[in-house]
């Protein structure tokens, strides 16, 4: 989810679900230690609960970044050992670390010693020629002994040679059963399923056997799905009755952020998938795509786009200047 789940995306998603745990995009230790921390790590208090996802392989650097993340107020620190991109492999982090489970254990132990908030690991079921049953179960045993609070398993292998990052999300077959078996072996460890979860209904079905379910691209590409999360998992009514209402609630945030110099399309790009198969959905996307990138664009662009999508609660009113 690199370049996707930035702070603007997370603020928008929090309007759709009060309760789901949100994750940052993966941030490397180098970027945090040497970059603009406020830009990289700053977030709105409304985003809680939110986890900081780290990429790295040096225990000391990860421990320091975990401390920094905790000081910024994150609710969880997550180590990504599942991303298969070439950039990640060149930096010796992400899925290639499945081949170095002892090192990952050292990283987890260092992070746990550095912070009091939960430390979790996101992994694959194996990489390349690894036999998944052996690789995943051995890896889990090592990070569990190191103190991880949860293991989030993308239930596909990662092929580091021969497949692109996109193909690695689609070509290797999903194996949810192996994640269920992992939970049976580790009933005292939180095991979360990731990979190919396309709907809240599917997530709910899988949640019955596991401790949690992570929804990635489906939640981003079709964020309207998140409106049903609170009712499905927590027995609570959603904050808004319709996607349109939730998008309108984003307007004050847009106005505030634009006053700080943020471009409108930096925020509205995360809203493009909010409607599907309803009258006006295509016109909504087209209007945002064309108008939000213009230098003079304001929050009124979103209001005008929403006016193209009728709902039972009436049309969008003009935003006062």
Quick one: 274 and 158 in the same domain? no
Catalytic site residue from 9, 83, 96, 107: 83
Q: How far is CA 239 from CA 17, 97, 143, 247, in A?
A: 7, 40, 37, 12
Quick one: 141 and 264 in the same domain? no
pLDDT, tens digit, 9 for 90 and up, residues 183-238: 999 999 999 999 999 999 999 999 888 999 999 989 999 999 999 999 999 999 99
Within-domain flag for 272:
yes
Helices (H), the chain: 7-16, 29-34, 37-41, 59-72, 86-90, 101-114, 132-145, 165-168, 176-185, 200-207, 217-221, 229-234, 243-249, 251-259, 264-268, 281-291, 300-306
Q: End of a domain among 174, 209, 234? A: 234
Quick one: 277 and 128 in the same domain? no
* CA–CA separation, 79 and 92 (whole Å): 13
Within-domain flag for 201:
yes
Quick one: 17 and 38 in the same domain? yes
Within-domain flag for 2:
no
Within-domain flag for 170:
yes
pTM: 0.91
pLDDT, tens digit, 9 for 90 and up, residues 107-156: 999 999 999 999 999 999 999 889 999 999 999 999 999 999 999 999 99
- Annotated active-site residue 107? The verdict is no
Quick one: 78 and 95 in the same domain? yes
Report whether pLDDT(2) > 80.
no
Supply the range of the domain harboring residue 105: 7-234
Quick one: 38 and 129 in the same domain? yes
């Amino acid at each position: 989810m690199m370049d996707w789940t930035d702070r603007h995306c997370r603020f928008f998603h929090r309007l759709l679900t009060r309760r789901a745990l949100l994750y940052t995009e993966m941030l490397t230790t180098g970027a945090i230690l040497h970059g603009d921390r406020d830009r990289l790590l700053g977030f709105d208090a409304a985003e809680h609960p939110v986890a900081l996802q780290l990429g790295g392989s040096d225990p000391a650097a990860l421990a320091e970044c975990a401390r920094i993340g905790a000081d910024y107020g994150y609710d969880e620190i997550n180590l990504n050992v599942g991303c298969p991109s070439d950039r990640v492999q060149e930096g010796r982090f992400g899925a290639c670390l499945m081949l170095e489970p002892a090192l990952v254990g050292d990283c987890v132990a260092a992070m746990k010693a550095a912070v009091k908030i939960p430390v979790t690991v996101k992994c694959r079921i194996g990489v390349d020629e690894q036999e998944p049953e052996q690789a995943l179960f051995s890896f889990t045993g090592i990070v569990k002994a190191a103190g991880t609070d949860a293991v989030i398993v993308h239930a596909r292998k990662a092929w580091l040679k021969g497949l692109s990052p996109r193909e690695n999300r689609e070509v290797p077959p999903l194996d949810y059963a192996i994640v269920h078996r992992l939970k049976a072996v580790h009933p005292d460890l939180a095991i979360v399923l990731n990979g190919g979860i396309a709907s809240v209904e599917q997530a709910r079905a899988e949640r019955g056997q596991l401790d949690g379910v992570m929804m990635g691209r489906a939640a981003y590409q079709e964020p309207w799905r998140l409106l049903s999360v609170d009712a499905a998992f927590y027995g609570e009514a959603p904050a808004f009755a319709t996607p349109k209402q939730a998008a309108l609630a984003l307007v004050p945030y847009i106005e505030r952020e634009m006053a700080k110099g943020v471009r409108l399309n930096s925020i509205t790009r995360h809203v493009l998938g909010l409607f599907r198969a309803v009258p006006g959905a295509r016109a909504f996307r087209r209007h945002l795509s064309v108008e939000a990138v213009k230098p003079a664009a304001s929050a009124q662009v979103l209001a005008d786009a929403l006016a193209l999508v009728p709902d039972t609660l009436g049309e969008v009113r003009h935003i006062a200047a």
